[in-house]
Structure 1
Amino acid sequence: MNISVTVVLTYFLVIISRIQTESINITLTDLGSMENNATGFNNLVILNEILDVFDIRNIGSSWSKVYKLITNGCSHDMAQYLSGLQAGKNWAIKMDDSSGKYNQGFFWGNNYWTGSITQCSFINQSKTRSRNLTKVVKNTDLSYINGNFLEASEMMHENPPFNTGFYMLKVLLNNTHKLGPPRTVLMGLCLPGTCQLSDIVQMTHTSRSTQQNFQILGVRSPTLNNFSLWKDITFQILFIATIAVALLIIGGTGCDLVLRKRYEADLRMKKYSKDLNSESSSGLGCTTYDLTHGIPDKTNKTNRDAFGIPTGVNNNNSDENLAIEPTSTEEKKLSVWIEMLLSFSVVTNFQAICDRNVGNDTIPSIHGLRTLSMLWVILGHTMIVVFKYSDNMELRKVVEKKVLFQAVLNGAYSVDTFFFISGFLVSYIYFRTNAKGKLEKLTQGVNEFTAGTYHFFGLVGYRFMRLTAPYLYVLGVVEVAMRHLEQNSVFEPPTQDHINCPKYWWRNILYINTLFPVEQMCMLWSWYLSDDTQFYIIGAIILIIGVRHLKFAAGMLVVFMISSWATTAYIAFSNNHMPNADDPFALFDKIYDKPWTRLGPYLVGMCVGWVLFKTNCKISMSKVMVALGWTASTIMILYLLFGLFNATLTKIAAAAYSSLSHTAWAAACAWIIIACSTGYGGWVNKLLSAPILYPFSRVTYCAYLVHPIVNRIYAMESDSPIHMTTNNLTTLYLGQVVSSYVLAFIISLSFEAPVVTMLRIMSPTRKK
Structure 2
Amino acid sequence: MAFIKYIFITLTLLVMNAYLLNSVDKGVCEDNSCLHRSLQKDIESILLSKAINFSEKINESFVDFKLDELNKTYNDSFDLVRIENNSSYSNDRDKSSNKKIKNVDQVNVLDNHSNSIGNTTNYNVNEEDIVKVLSARMLQSTYPFVPSKAKDASNLCRIHTRKFLTYLEKMELWALKMHDSSAKISSGILNGNVNQFGDFDECLSVEEPNQQFKGQYCLVYLQPEINQKSKLLKNLNKLIQSYGMFKSNFNDPGHRVPRFSTVNWGVCVPSSCTYLEVESAMTEYMKNFTEGTGVSMKVRVDKEMCQVKENQWTNKLDKSTIIASAFFLIYFGLLISASLYEYYKTDNKNVWIVAFSLIKNTKNILNLKREPNDIACIHGIRAVNAYLLIISHKSMALFFNPYINRTSMAETVGQPWTVIARAASLYTDPFIMMSGLLTTYSLFGRLQKGHHIKIFQEYIGRFLRIAPPLGALILFCTYILPLLGSGPQWNLVITHHSGICKMYWWRNLMFIHNYFGFENMCLTHTHHIGIDTQLFLTAPIFTYLLWKWPKKTFLSLVTLASISTGARYYVTVTKNLSNYVFFGTSVSQLFDTADFMYILPAHRLTVYIMGVLLGYFLRIYKHKQLTNAQLRIGWWASVILLLISFFGPAPMGSINYQYNSTHAAIYAALSPIGWCCFFAWVIFTSHLGYNESKFHLKLPILKFVKCKRFTLILYLL
Report TM bin, short chain. Answer: 0.5 to 0.7
- Post-superposition offset of 1:201: 3.9
1:74-93 aligned within 5 A? 74-93=157-176
Distance change >3 Å, CA 185–CA 493, structure 1 → 2? same
1:479 aligns with 2:478: yes
Looking at structure 2, the residues matched to 595 and 678 of structure 1 have their Cα atoms a distance apart, in angstroms, of 31
Residue aligning to 2:458: 459
Looking at structure 1, the residues matched to 644 and 179 of structure 2 have their Cα atoms a distance apart, in angstroms, of 54
2:675 maps to which of 665, 681, 694 = 665
1:506-525 aligned within 5 A? 506-525=506-525
Deviations 1:71-114 (A, max 9, x none): 44433433332233323334433322211122134344334211
2:267 maps to which of 175, 181, 189 = 189
Residue pair 1:223, 1:488 contacting (<8 A) in 2 also: no
- Post-superposition offset of 1:359: 0.4
1:496-515 aligned within 5 A? 496-515=496-515
Deviations 1:330-366 (A, max 9, x none): xx5x6xxx32222111111100000021201211211
Query: Match of 2:532, as an amino acid?
Result: D
Residue pair 1:167, 1:221 contacting (<8 A) in 2 also: yes
Looking at structure 2, the residues matched to 595 and 89 of structure 1 have their Cα atoms a distance apart, in angstroms, of 62
SS of 1:190's equivalent in the other structure is: strand
Looking at structure 1, the residues matched to 577 and 154 of structure 2 have their Cα atoms a distance apart, in angstroms, of 52
1:387 aligns with 2:392: no
- Post-superposition offset of 1:628: 2.8
Distance change >3 Å, CA 217–CA 122, structure 1 → 2? closer
1:402 maps to which of 405, 410, 415 = 415
Structure 2 unmatched runs, 5+: 1-83, 87-139, 242-248, 250-260, 291-295, 653-657
SS of 1:100's equivalent in the other structure is: coil
Looking at structure 1, the residues matched to 225 and 662 of structure 2 have their Cα atoms a distance apart, in angstroms, of 38
> Quick check: 219-228 or 607-616, which moved more?
219-228
Deviations 1:451-498 (A, max 9, x none): x6xx11111111011110111111222333676699864456359533
Query: Match of 1:634, as an amino acid?
Result: V
Residue pair 1:428, 1:609 contacting (<8 A) in 2 also: yes
Residue aligning to 1:642: 647
Residue aligning to 1:255: 341
Distance change >3 Å, CA 579–CA 166, structure 1 → 2? closer
Residue aligning to 2:221: 170
Residue aligning to 2:255: none
Query: Match of 1:526, as an amino acid?
Result: T
Distance change >3 Å, CA 159–CA 406, structure 1 → 2? farther
Looking at structure 2, the residues matched to 74 and 160 of structure 1 have their Cα atoms a distance apart, in angstroms, of 14
Distance change >3 Å, CA 501–CA 200, structure 1 → 2? same
Residue aligning to 1:607: 613
Residue pair 1:456, 1:541 contacting (<8 A) in 2 also: no
Distance change >3 Å, CA 367–CA 208, structure 1 → 2? closer
1:215 maps to which of 281, 284, 298 = 298
Greater relative contact order structure (CA < 8 Å, 6+ sep):
1
- Post-superposition offset of 1:631: 2.4
Query: Match of 1:388, as an amino acid?
Result: F
Deviations 1:360-385 (A, max 9, x none): 12112111111121111110001111
Deviations 1:370-406 (A, max 9, x none): 1121111110001111123343544564234322211
Query: Match of 1:501, as an amino acid?
Result: C
Root-mean-square deviation (CA, aligned residues, Å) is 3.7
- Post-superposition offset of 1:534: 1.0
Looking at structure 1, the residues matched to 555 and 319 of structure 2 have their Cα atoms a distance apart, in angstroms, of 50
Residue pair 1:114, 1:187 contacting (<8 A) in 2 also: yes
Residue aligning to 2:688: 678
Deviations 1:409-441 (A, max 9, x none): 112111011112212211222233x25x43xx2
1:355-366 aligned within 5 A? 355-366=367-378
1:148-297 aligned within 5 A? 163-175=214-226, 178=233, 179-180=236-237, 184-201=262-279, 203-204=281-282, 207=285, 210-212=288-290, 213-219=296-302, 220-223=305-308, 225=311, 228=314, 231-259=317-345, 261-262=346-347
Residue aligning to 2:714: 703
- Post-superposition offset of 1:172: 2.8
Deviations 1:310-332 (A, max 9, x none): xxxxxxxxxxxxxxxxxxxxxx5
Query: Match of 2:711, as an amino acid?
Result: T
SS of 2:416's equivalent in the other structure is: coil
Deviations 1:571-604 (A, max 9, x none): 1232344667584935221121111111111221
Distance change >3 Å, CA 493–CA 649, structure 1 → 2? closer
Residue aligning to 2:427: 414
1:429-468 aligned within 5 A? 429-432=442-445, 434-435=446-447, 437-438=448-449, 441-443=450-452, 455-468=454-467
1:96 maps to which of 168, 179, 183 = 179
What is the percentage of aligned positions where both structures have the same residue?
21
1:350 maps to which of 355, 362, 373 = 362
SS of 1:602's equivalent in the other structure is: helix
TM-score by length of 1: 0.62
Residue pair 1:542, 1:556 contacting (<8 A) in 2 also: no
- Post-superposition offset of 1:191: 2.9
Residue pair 1:170, 1:216 contacting (<8 A) in 2 also: yes
Looking at structure 2, the residues matched to 649 and 97 of structure 1 have their Cα atoms a distance apart, in angstroms, of 43
Residue aligning to 1:469: 468
Distance change >3 Å, CA 675–CA 419, structure 1 → 2? same
Looking at structure 2, the residues matched to 561 and 578 of structure 1 have their Cα atoms a distance apart, in angstroms, of 20
Looking at structure 2, the residues matched to 654 and 490 of structure 1 have their Cα atoms a distance apart, in angstroms, of 32
1:725-764 aligned within 5 A? none
Residue pair 2:645, 2:671 contacting (<8 A) in 1 also: yes
Looking at structure 2, the residues matched to 376 and 59 of structure 1 have their Cα atoms a distance apart, in angstroms, of 45
Looking at structure 2, the residues matched to 206 and 485 of structure 1 have their Cα atoms a distance apart, in angstroms, of 36
Query: Match of 2:710, as an amino acid?
Result: V
Looking at structure 1, the residues matched to 281 and 573 of structure 2 have their Cα atoms a distance apart, in angstroms, of 50
Query: Match of 2:423, as an amino acid?
Result: N
1:655 maps to which of 662, 665, 674 = 665
Distance change >3 Å, CA 521–CA 163, structure 1 → 2? closer
1:340 maps to which of 345, 352, 371 = 352
Looking at structure 2, the residues matched to 88 and 669 of structure 1 have their Cα atoms a distance apart, in angstroms, of 67
Residue aligning to 2:127: none
SS of 1:188's equivalent in the other structure is: strand
Query: Match of 2:307, as an amino acid?
Result: P
SS of 2:268's equivalent in the other structure is: strand
- Post-superposition offset of 1:684: 3.0
What is the total number of aligned residue pairs between the two structures? Answer: 535
> Quick check: 666-675 or 223-232, which moved more?
223-232
Looking at structure 2, the residues matched to 646 and 672 of structure 1 have their Cα atoms a distance apart, in angstroms, of 28
Looking at structure 1, the residues matched to 316 and 279 of structure 2 have their Cα atoms a distance apart, in angstroms, of 32
SS of 2:705's equivalent in the other structure is: helix
Query: Match of 2:266, as an amino acid?
Result: G
Residue aligning to 1:8: none
Q: Look at both structures and tell me which one has the larger radius of gyration over its CA atoms.
A: 2
Distance change >3 Å, CA 541–CA 257, structure 1 → 2? same
1:563-574 aligned within 5 A? 563-574=563-574
Deviations 1:704-731 (A, max 9, x none): 112xxxxxxxxxxxxxxxxxxxxxxxxx
Looking at structure 2, the residues matched to 589 and 417 of structure 1 have their Cα atoms a distance apart, in angstroms, of 21
Query: Match of 1:171, as an amino acid?
Result: L
Looking at structure 2, the residues matched to 59 and 509 of structure 1 have their Cα atoms a distance apart, in angstroms, of 47
Distance change >3 Å, CA 565–CA 608, structure 1 → 2? same
SS of 1:171's equivalent in the other structure is: strand
Distance change >3 Å, CA 660–CA 349, structure 1 → 2? same
